[in-house]
Structure 1
Amino acid sequence: MITVAFVVFEGFQSMALAAMSVFEYANFSAAETLYDVRVLSEGGHTLRASGGLSVGTEAFDERVFDTVIVAGGDSILEQAPDTVLDYLRASTRTARRTASICSGAFVMAQAGLLDGRRATTHWAYARQLQERFASIKVEADRIYVIDGPIWTSAGMTAGIDLALAMVEKDHGAELARSVAQKLVMYHRRAGGQSQHSALLALEPKSDRIQTVLGYAREHLAQALSVEQLAQVASLSPRQFSRAFRAETGQSPARTIENLRLETARQMLERGRLTLDQIALETGFGDRRRMREAFLRAFGQPPQVIRRNARHEASA
């Protein structure tokens, strides 16, 4: 049985504990107790999370845990309690892996656990983390990063992806998929996937433009001209272009390229299709055009992004 400790503090973000459900459902799916999960704090008192939820905890002691996960929270961005830092430093000598969710990376950094390592955190805090702790290689656009025994994740929901990756590492991909299905997750994100969603960033106001975006997402392999999209919206091409830019702040062409880039990157990270197949299925047409688009958007060619994703998986 694998023991897991979630380390919390007064004012922590309760969403971090959503990752506990992954281990709970791993036990349920396997019909046996694969994980024993505890919530620990400095004094073992009932703590109040930032959203008002009260959580009972157990005190730090000499117990050894296989996995230690630090929650995030604004209350510890500047300085976490010394007892928490001391506990983490001691636990890394006995734990197989130590992890953080969201701004919990700041606690890990304050304890010196991220020195010289690759790490990530919520995109809104990434620059601050890099400026304060120059020895860390902050990868600001990752869902999670694994560097040896140290695991770090982005925003709170990324903690679920992190926990699923742990389950897959411990017990295989089939169990991780079963857990993701029970949690009704659309898909399980790879660590190298971007924290940002092209569709989420647009926020169109009308059903008409939302319908166009849904259509485009489902037909990326097609040319998707302005005339074709305008027909879906039941507008003239000129009316459609004006309405689209007014609602999204982008031209239709830019949006379609962003959707193609996001989808192609997800396919690369899953590693199932060749570059030629991905280029065709996402509408780039050929590897050259896809490579040029990746260099503009990410500063890296598709091969490097795929290699990084495979490195994460093997780590």
Structure 2
Amino acid sequence: MVTRASEGRERPAERPALTVGFLLTNNFTLTALSSFIDALRLAADEGDGSRPIRCRWHILGRKDEPRMSSCGIAVAPDRDYDLAGLDYLVVVGGLLHRGPQLGADAAACIHSAARQQIPLIGVCTGSFVLARAGLMQDRACCVSWYHFRDFVEEFPDLVPVAEQLFIEDRDRITCSGGAGVVDLAAFLIERHLGRAAAQKAMHILQVDPGRASGQSQPPPPVGGPVLDARVRRAMLMMEQHLSDPLAMEEIAAKLAISTRQFERVFQATTGMSPNRFYRLLRLRYGLWMLKTSRRSVTDVALEAGFADCAHFSRHFRDLFGINPSQVRKESEATEPRLTQARHRPDMGEGPQERRFYE
């Protein structure tokens, strides 16, 4: 391709500052793809024409084989498995346990990129794809809190991180997914095109300025591997209903066991009652909101599923040893104080409870 100079002479087009290739898994998450590309196309053009000038992006694969997203919308590749000129290769994951995520050609493409030292990015469950390919050894791997236990059970030799939005470890970047994909895109745009281009994309998308990779995910994960499948299901239900807490009777009914049996099994597995575990989840969610948003303490209390601010503040202070309002005022000192408060002897936590809480 050529561009025409003002005096009429033709000259070769400049290479884009950032070119990204995308590999889509079967049942990939459409949001992860679209939000990443939207940030790129907004940064690519100094105006508002979405022209791929400073950034370019390609969906790799066979053009006659559209890839189906988890929501049922198919996306057709625009480029074969050609890695030429790519600055990054992004693997967009999606639903787990729905058959093979990638075919042989796509898997070979990933390994070829690794051999050519093209940085690999796994977004959403793309981290699982990279780990299954043996490409995450001795590297930090960011996963969503939602799939934390799945990752631990499948890859016992790897250490997942579910407290951050994304992690860059040498030539691998992994992202938990969701809105964090936009932050990752802004991070790369700023690196290659400058801060102004990243800010432009975020402003047009009406997203707060790019959060750093170390920003916490909502909500923080709790606990390690749980052997009892019923308890795992109960924990997942609790994690999905932080703002509108489920009654223990309702959870037990969904597990097809009595409330008494549910409470007994949960206590034996985790070392604490399901009510207490649920409250810990909601309080940690409240802590995350206090540290990462500008909501009032009352709004945070309601969002964390508490009836009123007083109820939330009392339990928050009992657990963390600090008032919610102090978290806002002393953000730089919050983490050390909370770490000390977790193990106060008067909290009555046993070793098992601390393990699942941390």
Q: Secondary structure at the match of 2:143?
A: coil
SS in 2 for 1:88: helix
| Separation (CA, whole Å) in 1 of partners of 2:295 and 2:179 | 28
Q: 1:284 deviation in Å?
A: 3.7
Q: Equivalents in 2 of 1:86, 1:23: separation in Å?
A: 26
CA deviation string 1:73-101 (max 9, x = no partner): 11567643333222101012225421011
Q: Cα RMSD over matched residues? A: 4.2
* Corresponding residue number in structure 1 for 2:338: 293
2:65 corresponds, among 40, 45, 54, to 45
Matched, 1:178 2:224: no
User: Cα–Cα, structure 1 residues 252 and 153, in superposed 2: closer, same or farther, change >3 Å?
Assistant: same
Aligned to 1:68: 89
1:286 deviates by: 8.6
Question: Residues 46 and 168 of structure 1: is their aligned pair in 2 closer, same or farther, counting only changes over 3 Å?
Answer: same
| 1:129 aligned residue | 151
Match of 2:6 in 1: none
CA separation in 1, counterparts of 2:213 and 2:332?
Answer: 26
Q: Is the 8 A contact 1:45 1:58 kept in 2?
A: no
Q: In the alignment, is the contact (CA less than 8 A) between 2:44 and 2:55 conserved in 1? A: yes
Alpha-carbon distance between aligned partners in 1 of 2:309 and 2:98, rounded to the nearest angstrom: 34
Question: Greater helix share, 1 or 2?
Answer: 1
**Percentage of identical aligned residues:** 19
Partner of 1:305: none
Q: TM-score when scaled to structure 2? A: 0.59
Partner Cα separation in structure 1 for residue 310 and residue 151 of structure 2: 30
Amino acid at match of 1:292: R
Flag the structure with larger Rg.
Answer: 2
Partner of 1:251: 312
Q: Give the Cα separation in 2 of the matches to 1:143 and 1:181.
A: 20
Please list, as runs of the form range in 1=range in 2, the aligned pairs for 1:1-315 lying within 5 A after superposition: 1=16, 2-17=18-33, 18-29=35-46, 33-41=53-61, 44-58=64-78, 60-64=80-84, 65-75=86-96, 79-80=100-101, 81-196=103-218, 203=243, 245-246=306-307, 251-254=312-315, 282-284=328-330, 287=333, 291-296=336-341
How far is 1:295 from its partner?
Answer: 4.8
In 1, are the aligned partners of 2:39 and 2:182 still within 8 Å (CA)? yes
Listed one character per residue, the Cα deviations across residues 127-185 of structure 1 (whole Å, up to 9, x for unaligned) are 22133223322111110000001000002321111111111121222321221111100
Provide Cα deviations, 1:210-229, integer angstroms capped at 9, x if missing partner: xxxx9997598xxx8xxxx7
Q: Which amino acid aligns with 2:313?
A: P
Contact residue 16 and residue 101 of structure 1 kept, 8 A: yes
Contact kept, 8 Å, 1:45 with 1:59, in 2: the verdict is no
SS in 1 for 2:60: strand
1:284 and 1:290 in contact (8 A); partners too:
no
Q: Is the 8 A contact 1:202 1:248 kept in 2?
A: no
Q: 1:285 to 1:176 in 2, by over 3 A?
A: closer
Secondary structure in 1 aligned to 2:45?
A: helix
Q: Tell me the TM-score normalized by structure 1.
A: 0.66
Q: Matched residue pairs, number?
A: 255
